[in-house]
A and B are shown apart, each in its own frame.
Chain A
């Protein structure tokens, strides 16, 4: 048997229940993870789409934002009244003012000329008001017009006109010397260097308003000056910020020289440079970005160029990011970076688990009665079956297994087990039950081998069986034999005897092996008496039914025998062998000679004379035996429980016979003859006395040689 598994034992019911619970939770977890992975894929797609659409919205806004600016720049550049440094600006003024009104992002339009003349119209919004106040303009100023002209002496004079919302002049600052010189400005010089091309100055802080802005500039075809338009990109930035779903979204634009064009945090657009006493601001570059998400996204961009989507993990939070390449209206290349937390597109795995696991548990709880039913359906019959197995182990085979299961395999198991039980039950009829029980209990391998043990051996036989067998038809004979053996063998088995085998009409049985039986000599005698009585009862019934009676003869002996398994590896018989077994068989056979029913050896008579009544029969040495054998006939029991014989009637017979035997033993044959005749007078039906009478006559004629040991030798079996 394999060694038992270590650890605590769990019932099948709990196992099945646990199994189902585990499966339910595992399925829940698996579905959760699968959902999460699927959701993540979806999230990436959604994020990618969202980013693309957001960027394209911003682009549309950018284009819409800059389109009028470019248009106005082109219109002004082509306006005849602006192309001459000295011409009056009135014809164009109304157009300029209406353009400024309808395009609030334009903060100023202006024109600078080679001779140093300058014309500028400022659109005044709230943020420019302090500048106007500082200049000395009225508070209601909506537009401020600055004009610088050289007078005849070549000195440049500057005037300011302040208009209200309705374009009426509300104030004027008279001519004074101008300090501002357009020709020294970047926009002027760049535009002059690139004739007939709209140039763009990267974002910078306007000197007048400290607002972030850009300048578009284009030189006149006559190349006498340059037209410029200032654009406040504050509004664009506000829009860009508003397009973001929340503050955690990042938007950054930068050009191919890594200069920032837009930043979701406007304060990051510029950096302070220069000495503290002369502070200056400069457009920040991507290297100046402090936001870790954007920095990481930029780092990836530096490695791979633009990418549609990637995920970035910053201090436990996952972000999705994209960098798209854009082409500006003027053909310039710039890049747009957009990043957002993954959680905006997908819940966390924990969220998913929190949603799925309770549902899985709920399903499990709903299914629980079914699961319990199923677990019971499996475990209950198995528990019963294991009880049955224990019954089989303890050799209780009488009750058939009556149960059923809905589970096919268990049903098969039940049927197999039932079959096994009945098989063992049937097979155990062929072998001594005690032996099978012993094998089952000890779980030993049955091997050829043996041991010497003192056993009481009982042989039975049917008198004159051969002619009986010849007369009866076979089926009837087998029926009679079965009934006969059933009667006798059951008594032997009931008395814990081992029925070794049936040999024709004979039964070979013994006590004290393999089961230990106390007082086995007594039990053997008692059983023989019971069998004798049973046989007579059976005969009485048979005689009534017209069946010939079978007279049973018994032989009992006790002694050492070799007990064990004899045979080949395929077929092993548990049996007893040895001289003592032969003696028992011989005793049984001697009944034929002495006309007796139960003959026992002297050893049996000595051991059991306390309970049983024996009559001395003879002293013989059957052929093949080395020592003389004292033979006794078992007549009955003193024990009231073994009410097989009425012992009292036999006691006198035994006493009288003992007297005869005493004379016989004294070898006075004349006296013995007399004693026998006297005995015969009282017991005329006694058979043994007849045998002795015959023998004594012989002894009178031919006395046995000296020394006489009283042993009668039999030449045949």
Chain B
């Protein structure tokens, strides 16, 4: 089923279907550039670094717990534009595409446009 928080609240069981905790060992890749995938991740513990390029030529950012990554795929046609790698191991909370879309859908249209615009700009810039 789809999670629609805006309509009416649902049982926590239903919500948890859209979420999952995952633990990665040191130097593990959470996803790699070019992969297909629409799940976003919230870093709960450990470290995650985002790279662009086949050999991680360019370091985009280092994430701290409480930060989210992997949301671009949603706007970029399910294609990972970067790779997420943990150096010392990490724990993440995976958030389903459905939940992300629902959040977006329930957001203000102005904000929705803004998010969409920024995502496209990021993709454009990445393509250059």
Determine which of A594, A670, A693 lies in contact with B12 in the assembled complex, contact meaning CB atoms within 8 Å: A693
CB distance from B80 to the nearest CB of A (A): 20
20 pairs across A/B with beta carbons < 8 Å? Answer: A594-B9, A595-B8, A595-B9, A673-B93, A677-B21, A683-B12, A684-B11, A684-B13, A684-B16, A685-B12, A687-B10, A687-B12, A690-B9, A690-B11, A690-B13, A693-B12, A697-B42, A697-B93, A701-B42, A701-B68
In this assembly, does A358 line the interface, its C-beta being within 8 Å of a C-beta of chain B? no
CB distance from B48 to the nearest CB of A (A): 14
In this assembly, does A234 line the interface, its C-beta being within 8 Å of a C-beta of chain B? no
Interchain CB contact under 8 A, A684 and B68 = no
Contacts A670-B44, A701-B68: A687 and B16 contacting too (C-beta < 8 A)? no
- Please name all residues of chain B whose beta carbon is closer than 8 Å to the beta carbon of A677 when the two chains form the complex: 16, 21
In this assembly, does A592 line the interface, its C-beta being within 8 Å of a C-beta of chain B? yes
How far is B67's CA from A703's CA once the two chains are assembled, in angstroms? 11
How far is B12's CA from A86's CA once the two chains are assembled, in angstroms? 184
- Please name all residues of chain A whose beta carbon is closer than 8 Å to the beta carbon of B15 when the two chains form the complex: 690, 693-694
In this assembly, does B123 line the interface, its C-beta being within 8 Å of a C-beta of chain A? no
In this assembly, does A680 line the interface, its C-beta being within 8 Å of a C-beta of chain B? yes
Interchain CB contact under 8 A, B10 and A690 = yes
How far is B42's CA from A700's CA once the two chains are assembled, in angstroms? 8
Smallest CB-CB separation from A698: which chain B residue? B103
Interchain CB contact under 8 A, A686 and B11 = yes
Q: Which residues of B (4-48) have their CB < 8 Å from a CB of A?
A: 5, 8-16, 19, 21, 42, 44-45
Interchain CB contact under 8 A, B12 and A684 = yes
- Please name all residues of chain B whose beta carbon is closer than 8 Å to the beta carbon of A477 when the two chains form the complex: none
Bits for B36-75, please: 1 = Cβ < 8 Å to A, else 0.
0000001011000000000000000000011110000000
Interchain CB contact under 8 A, B66 and A700 = yes
In this assembly, does A708 line the interface, its C-beta being within 8 Å of a C-beta of chain B? no
Determine which of B12, B42, B45 lies in contact with A690 in the assembled complex, contact meaning CB atoms within 8 Å: B12
CB distance from A664 to the nearest CB of B (A): 14
- Please name all residues of chain A whose beta carbon is closer than 8 Å to the beta carbon of B16 when the two chains form the complex: 677, 680, 684, 690, 693
How far is B66's CA from A669's CA once the two chains are assembled, in angstroms? 9
Contacts A670-B44, A694-B5, A700-B44: A689 and B12 contacting too (C-beta < 8 A)? yes
| Most chain A beta-carbon contacts within 10 A, residue among B11, B14, B19, B66 | B11
How far is B16's CA from A333's CA once the two chains are assembled, in angstroms? 153
- Please name all residues of chain A whose beta carbon is closer than 8 Å to the beta carbon of B21 when the two chains form the complex: 677
- Please name all residues of chain A whose beta carbon is closer than 8 Å to the beta carbon of B11 when the two chains form the complex: 684-687, 690
How far is B45's CA from A483's CA once the two chains are assembled, in angstroms? 57
- Please name all residues of chain A whose beta carbon is closer than 8 Å to the beta carbon of B45 when the two chains form the complex: 670
Interface residues of A (CB under 8 A from B): 592-595, 669-670, 673, 676-677, 679-680, 683-691, 693-694, 697, 700-701, 703
CB distance from B95 to the nearest CB of A (A): 8
Interface residues of B (CB under 8 A from A): 5, 8-16, 19, 21, 42, 44-45, 65-68, 93, 95
- Please name all residues of chain A whose beta carbon is closer than 8 Å to the beta carbon of B68 when the two chains form the complex: 701
Determine which of A592, A694, A700 lies in contact with B8 in the assembled complex, contact meaning CB atoms within 8 Å: A592
- Please name all residues of chain B whose beta carbon is closer than 8 Å to the beta carbon of A680 when the two chains form the complex: 12-13, 16
How far is B19's CA from A694's CA once the two chains are assembled, in angstroms? 10
- Please name all residues of chain B whose beta carbon is closer than 8 Å to the beta carbon of A669 when the two chains form the complex: 66
Contacts A693-B15, A693-B16: A701 and B67 contacting too (C-beta < 8 A)? yes
CB distance from B45 to the nearest CB of A (A): 8
- Please name all residues of chain A whose beta carbon is closer than 8 Å to the beta carbon of B19 when the two chains form the complex: 693, 697
CB distance from A223 to the nearest CB of B (A): 165
Smallest CB-CB separation from B10: which chain A residue? A690
Interchain CB contact under 8 A, A593 and B67 = no
Q: Please name the 7 residue pairs, one residue from A and one from B, whose CB atoms are nearest each other, closest first.
A: A595-B9, A684-B13, A690-B12, A689-B12, A680-B12, A690-B15, A685-B11
CB distance from B23 to the nearest CB of A (A): 13
Known: A683-B12, A687-B12, A693-B19. 19 other contacts (CB 8 A): A595-B8, A595-B10, A670-B65, A677-B21, A684-B16, A687-B9, A687-B10, A690-B11, A690-B13, A690-B16, A691-B9, A693-B12, A693-B15, A697-B19, A697-B95, A700-B66, A701-B42, A701-B67, A701-B68
- Please name all residues of chain B whose beta carbon is closer than 8 Å to the beta carbon of A691 when the two chains form the complex: 9
Smallest CB-CB separation from A680: which chain B residue? B12
How far is B18's CA from A680's CA once the two chains are assembled, in angstroms? 14
- Please name all residues of chain B whose beta carbon is closer than 8 Å to the beta carbon of A686 when the two chains form the complex: 11-12
| Most chain B beta-carbon contacts within 10 A, residue among A670, A677, A680, A690 | A690
- Please name all residues of chain A whose beta carbon is closer than 8 Å to the beta carbon of B12 when the two chains form the complex: 676, 679-680, 683-687, 689-690, 693
How far is B93's CA from A684's CA once the two chains are assembled, in angstroms? 18
CB distance from A433 to the nearest CB of B (A): 37
- Please name all residues of chain B whose beta carbon is closer than 8 Å to the beta carbon of A676 when the two chains form the complex: 12
CB distance from A428 to the nearest CB of B (A): 39
CB distance from A659 to the nearest CB of B (A): 16
CB distance from B22 to the nearest CB of A (A): 13
Interchain CB contact under 8 A, B66 and A690 = no
- Please name all residues of chain B whose beta carbon is closer than 8 Å to the beta carbon of A694 when the two chains form the complex: 5, 15
- Please name all residues of chain A whose beta carbon is closer than 8 Å to the beta carbon of B9 when the two chains form the complex: 593-595, 687-688, 690-691
- Please name all residues of chain A whose beta carbon is closer than 8 Å to the beta carbon of B8 when the two chains form the complex: 592, 595
CB distance from A551 to the nearest CB of B (A): 11
- Please name all residues of chain A whose beta carbon is closer than 8 Å to the beta carbon of B13 when the two chains form the complex: 680, 684-685, 690
- Please name all residues of chain B whose beta carbon is closer than 8 Å to the beta carbon of A673 when the two chains form the complex: 44, 93
Smallest CB-CB separation from A699: which chain B residue? B66
| Most chain B beta-carbon contacts within 10 A, residue among A593, A683, A685, A687 | A687
- Please name all residues of chain A whose beta carbon is closer than 8 Å to the beta carbon of B14 when the two chains form the complex: 690
- Please name all residues of chain B whose beta carbon is closer than 8 Å to the beta carbon of A592 when the two chains form the complex: 8
- Please name all residues of chain A whose beta carbon is closer than 8 Å to the beta carbon of B66 when the two chains form the complex: 669, 700-701, 703
Smallest CB-CB separation from B21: which chain A residue? A677
How far is B21's CA from A413's CA once the two chains are assembled, in angstroms? 83
How far is B95's CA from A701's CA once the two chains are assembled, in angstroms? 13
How far is B5's CA from A593's CA once the two chains are assembled, in angstroms? 10
How far is B5's CA from A687's CA once the two chains are assembled, in angstroms? 11
CB distance from A669 to the nearest CB of B (A): 8
Smallest CB-CB separation from A463: which chain B residue? B8
How far is B13's CA from A518's CA once the two chains are assembled, in angstroms? 43
